[in-house]
Structure 1
């Protein structure tokens, strides 16, 4: 059996889902005997690789960089999991949606509630371009499984990973795309 190639992505969220992943503790050592972590904020890889078996996406789609990375992950991954409530529903990250389009949010943050003489960053490469609306992952790419929770518990993450590594369908509490 070939080793599973796993990636994790952190988009618009708090990184709590990745912290729960790290809460797998000693089981991470066993996982390392069966799979390779090929892309993750934990591994500090710079480019999303080809031929990924499983990608866990934490966080909502909030800016142009998130959008691009989600599409790249979908092209290069066999299985995509929306990992945690921000990825599944938008959750806390989407709380900015009622404030209106991105330009309104930037105006409020940088000018109205910041420095009245300030400016909104607009030079390319300084701040990713905000989308007008924060959306969950499945609004921009097809998702195979949903692992809700804020964050999902380590035992639920382990159950998902074990099932997918063994080629089984995850438990019924993992929603399907």
Structure 2
């Protein structure tokens, strides 16, 4: 059996979903029967590969770089799974949505004319006006909710996808 190419990514989130993935413990060995991990923040790979079979994305889309990366991952992945509540609903990152990006930066950094409170402006991604879940930007094939999702849920979903099954009933949505 040819192994599937698996990629994981986190956007605006806390990395808790990736910690749950690691919490699958010895079941990681079972998953390696089905998957080769080809990209992850837990690896030192700089460029997202082509022809990924399954991509797990954690986190909301909060910056122009998050959006660019999510769109690239979608283009290069056969199956895309929103992993965790930030990717599924926006969760904690979306709590800032009551103000726009400009007001948020003003509240955090003060006004540009205040001494010692410069608003960052170089070498940083542009903050979008709202932090939104993945499906607001890209087509998502499956959703695994939870903050973070349990190791059991992640393992079961990955095994189901590897076997050609649907990991969660009614989990298919479009952008």
Question: How does the TM-score come out when normalised to structure 2?
Answer: 0.93
Q: Residue 61 of structure 1 aligns with which residue?
A: 61
Q: What SS class does the counterpart of residue 38 from structure 2 fall into? A: strand
Distance in 2 between residues matched to 1:55 and 1:48, nearest whole Å: 11
> Offset of 1:171 from its aligned partner?
3.8
Asked if the contact 1:37/1:43 (under 8 Å) is kept, the reply is no
Q: CA RMSD in A?
A: 1.6
- How big is the shift at 1:145? 0.4
**Secondary structure at 1:86's aligned position in 2?**
helix
Structure 1 unaligned runs (5+)?
A: none
Once the two structures are TM-superposed, the CA of residue 160 in structure 1 deviates from its matched residue by 0.3
Deviations 1:24-81 (A, max 9, x none): 0011122223211111101121111000000001000000110000000000000000
Q: Structure 2 CA distance, aligned partners of 1:5 and 1:92? A: 30
List, as ranges, runs of 4+ consecutive aligned residues in structure 1 with deviation greater than 2 Å. Answer: none
Q: SS of the residue aligned with 2:159?
A: helix
Helix, strand or coil for the counterpart of 1:175? coil
CA shift at 1:21, angstroms?
Answer: 0.2
Q: Partner residue of 1:101?
A: 100
TM-score between the two structures when normalised by the length of structure 1: 0.92
Are 2:122 and 1:116 aligned?
Answer: no
In the TM superposition, residue 116 of structure 1 has moved relative to its aligned partner by 3.5
Unaligned runs of 5+ in 2: none
Once the two structures are superposed, what CA deviation does each residue of 1:101-126 show, in whole Å capped at 9, x if it has no partner?
211111110116xx931211112x1x
